[in-house]
Structure formats: structure tokens, C-alpha cells
Amino acid sequence: MTWEEAVSWRKELASSGKTVVFTNGVFDILHAGHVELLERCRAQGDALIVGLNSDSSVHTFKGELRPIVPQEDRAAILLGLRSVDAVVLFDEQTPAELIETLLPDVLIKGGDYTPEQVVGRESVERAGGRLVILPLIEGRSTTGVVETILERYRGKLREGH
């Protein structure tokens, strides 16, 4: 969705008394940890909107080699999950402006954040919403997946394959 479409949809949901949940991330090389986290996010309300870092945003803080999967593909994969109702791209380094525009009822981040570090928290709480910090899924990360691929590939190269 565009930002405008998301705002309009969010207003429709609010007028129907629905609880809108928001989380965000890169979601590069989707893995079981992402899927479980998104399912737990969706369980916090009636609709889940995912703010997705655009490719240019990811380059800024993860370097020129990331993302591995382009934004259009990452968005399509996320939308294929039963837990995700909408995906909105953002180009900024943080989703602060998107969060302030949408003002979800529930703002969710993973357990690697403290409440003070969560951008948009104050705006959401001022509007009557709440912050939820969910524990991360141990042993699941895109970096871990990439490292496993590289280790296996290097091992095959050493073996002459």
C-alpha cells in the first residue's frame, strides 16, 4: 500500500472498532523467526501493517550488500503470510514518520529494543495506543542464514566442487 492507502484503510478499521497493529523491519531472507514474530504481532489485534524498509533505506544502515532480496520481493513474500494484512514501504532510516502518520493502536518491536529506543512510541502512547516488546526467537536471524550459506559454499569450494 501507499502511505495514503494505508492511512485511509487504518481510518476505516478504526471506525469499525478494529485494533491496528504495526511493526517494521527489513525482513531480508524471510525465516521461521520472522514468521513467528509476525504471527505474535498479528495476535495483538485485528489487522497487522508491516512497515518495510526500502532498498535505499537498508543500504544506509546495513551496507551496500544488503538487502539480498529486493523490496518488491520482500513485500510480496510478507503479503503471502496469513498474519500480514498490509505492507507499506518507507525510505527513511527509521519508521518514525510512518508511525506518526498511521498512529497504530499497538506498536510492536522485537526484544533487542528497550521502550526508550522505539521510535514512534511517544506518538502512539499520546494517541492512546500501546507499545509491546516481543522476545526475539533465539537462533534465528538473516545474518545467521547468510553465514550458513557462506560456510557451506566455502566448504564446497575447498572440496573442489
Domain-by-domain residue ranges, the chain? 3-136
Is pLDDT at 79 greater than 90 in this prediction? yes
3-state secondary structure of 77: helix
Is pLDDT at 69 greater than 90 in this prediction? yes
- Which set of grid coordinates corresponds to residue 128? 492512546
The model carries a pTM of 0.88
- What ranges make up the beta strands (E) of 3-124? 20-25, 47-53, 86-90, 106-110
Residue pLDDT, tens place only, 52-66? 999 999 999 888 888
- Integer Cα distance of 44 and 120 in angstroms: 18
Residue closest to 23 by CA, chosen among 92, 116, 91, 85: 85
* Residue 61 CB burial class (10 angstroms; 0-12, 13-18, ≥19): exposed
Give the pLDDT score at 63.
85
Q: Decide if 141 contacts 33 (C-beta within 8 A).
A: yes
Q: What is the fold, at CATH topology level, of the domain defined by 3-136?
A: Rossmann fold (3.40.50)
Residue that has been written with the C-alpha cell 572440496 in this structure: 159
Q: Decide if 34 contacts 119 (C-beta within 8 A).
A: no
φ, ψ of residue 109 to 5 degrees: the values are -135, 165
- Which set of grid coordinates corresponds to residue 155? 566448504
